[in-house]
Structure 1
Amino acid sequence: MAGGTTPSDWHDIDRRHRAGILLGAAVVLVAAAAGLVALLGGEPAVVPGGETTPTITPAEQTTETISPAPGYDSALIGEEGREEVAASPDAPAPAQDTAGNVSGSVAYRRDGWLCVVTEDGADERRVAESGSGAFTLSPDGGTLALIDGGSGQLVLVDVDSGDRVSVGPAIDDPPAWAPDSGWLVYAASGSRVMRADRSGAAATLLMAGTMPVVSPDGRTVVAVIDAARRGEIAVWQDDGTRRYITSAPVSGVCCTDERVYYGSGPDVSGAVSLRSMRLDGRGDRAELTRAQSARPVAYADLLRSPDGSWVCFAERGDDGYSRAFALPAAGGRLVELSGRRDCYPLMWSGDGSAVYLIEGNAMQGEPTWLVSVILGDGMRRALVDLGVR
């Protein structure tokens, strides 16, 4: 395909979950110091409604089981755009989406447009002109939610007709859809999580926070509060909102129906970890206590599969470095998804069998591609050539 990803396009992809900004040296020092002060401050903080904010007490550390990263000896783009890699032998096969909402579509940005293709990379359609801003495709593939980089508004675009509805002011966090595509949540200025109907109507304040995510069953919304100063996770359910202080800044978050997964750190010692806790804040544990990379990174771009059986994430550095991995939520070996180049998680397939990634770094003069990785057999496919400029 003609054209390519511009430096501004790539910069937008690189900022997709706001986690990378936590890795600057000055921010790390300020965040760690503030988080330590918060933890040593004595009484729990009081939140609206009279609820208290308990501090998470880490459980005994579990033993990590990490498989060797699969080999990438052949070129990324081979015959028919395919590459075989070794899948983890102990990794469970992805389950089908229990909600049955399989869109069969993938959204990405190319040449200043948000485009949609089928999951095999065919039938590209330009849906919305957009040079920058976070975006998320609804699970049924019918509506694209995007943060307009010019107006700073959340805009909902009908994929078939191109009709646009402006919902309201929003910050550049990816919106998060309910599993039935009937509503979504997004972050507005002032650290506010808003909920709106698919039509764009009835935008209401849900709770404080940023980086909002929704559980597979649609009953829980999780967000992060003051992530740059201290770690605090907010969990909204029908009975109200609970907030939990963590031991370090939070760099990314996602949730299943049972647990919240979050990137933690760097802490005062510079360490990072991928952790999880139950929705009630108990059972906090380390899923990973060391990064695969030797360079300073944080765990960011967390994406749970549609059925919640997998958690995809990236190790992200402040120099643009990014490598993607998948971890079974029930425990098991870590699976590397990246090729030899920078790799940015984009979204899951509708049935949870594959992860879609952006590989390459146009800012460094590399060609970039939309790539799929099937977790069951490790098959990699380069779907769309995003070019380089």
Structure 2
Amino acid sequence: MTAASQAIAVTRTLEAVMRNDRGRLTAALIARLRDFQLAEEVLQEAAVSALTHWGRSGLPSSPQGWLLRVALRRAIDRLRSGQRDARRAADLAVLAADEADDTEPHMIADDRLRLIFTCCHPALEPKTRVALTLRTLGGLTTVEIAGAFLDDPTAMGQRLSRAKAKIAAAGIPFAIPAPEDWAERLQSVLVVVYLIFNQGYSANPGPQPLRRDLCEEAIFLARMLDALRPGEAETEGLLALLLLTHSRHAARHMAGVSVPLAQQDRALWDAPMIAEGLALLDRAMERRAPGPFQIKAAIGALHAAPGVTDWPQIALLYDSLLRMEPTPVIRLHRAVALAEAGALEPALLLLEPLARELDDYQPFHAARADLLARAGRIAAALTAYDQAIALAGSAADASFLGIRRDAAATLRANDKTTP
């Protein structure tokens, strides 16, 4: 093997390990060090060292174990030098034993479940939970996370630093919740994963309105949760929902214009992903423990079904969901489902009380514009389209809404010229 090919092999191996095992390695280090910042720093230092040592000595039999040992060695050096709070000799002895262990990948304790519950602790604000989960378990850089939120990287870095400091100062436990707290805390974790997916799936400015990396990161985290704690109906429901939704990503945009669900080319949908999502949903529903993510997945399954969409059934599912999540956004979706099921005027009446709460929510104005146009109230529809276009998060969405607005305006002009 030439030096150039050796360097390429080392780089690719390191990138693969840091992508696939970073969360596990970080969790293992935090479990031993009880320090988020120190764990991240020494793992990064170990990765930098790997480029030199692996390039000179060849790839180790266990790259993951090598990184863990070197990271622990760096941590011990820092703790002994007094750069951090002093540790008892017994603690350092335990770390030294871990560092000396010739660890194979399958022998590294998997503490990711404890880590994600720590990142998603209720003491942290929702945005911080999402950011910290992406950083520690997803391995995204601070710049990438800032880009996902359209935030300044410096501000995002400060947010992450404050979160790590708060975990240490508040004594937030690195632990899986007790049985009596499990359901509530699990729901918090699932919501964080769902928010990560939505951040990628929602309209984004620029030439790529869909952030596939974030969508796939959320699916990766949902799979991880399902593997670490199998048998949870809502985890299965969330994973089913993400798969059913993401299965349509290739058909969402055409020639720079967003394509609504009803007009998408189903040949572009990912059939294996849909099949997996449907199987997960069936498994979740067999557990007889209904929850909001299972209901949302059931709605997604009806959209994926061949033939005419069963809008009356979707409306009934939104009725059930509304009892669990009585939010304005769910009320909006329920109204749209009722309109699609044939109850146009009642749906419009349901939208009116939502105007104040959803005034800055682009999908509200887009849905209202569409329903008003169908009802023949073209002037009001044009105003609603203008509001939706002004709030559009991407050029693709703005183009789609502009086409719809032009069609409504043409219809109005034709009505005026009709004898």
- TM-score normalised according to structure 1 size: 0.24
User: Which structure has greater helix proportion?
Assistant: 2
- Whichever of the two has the greater Rg, that structure is 2
Higher relative contact order (CA 8 A, sep 6+): 1
User: Which structure has greater strand proportion?
Assistant: 1
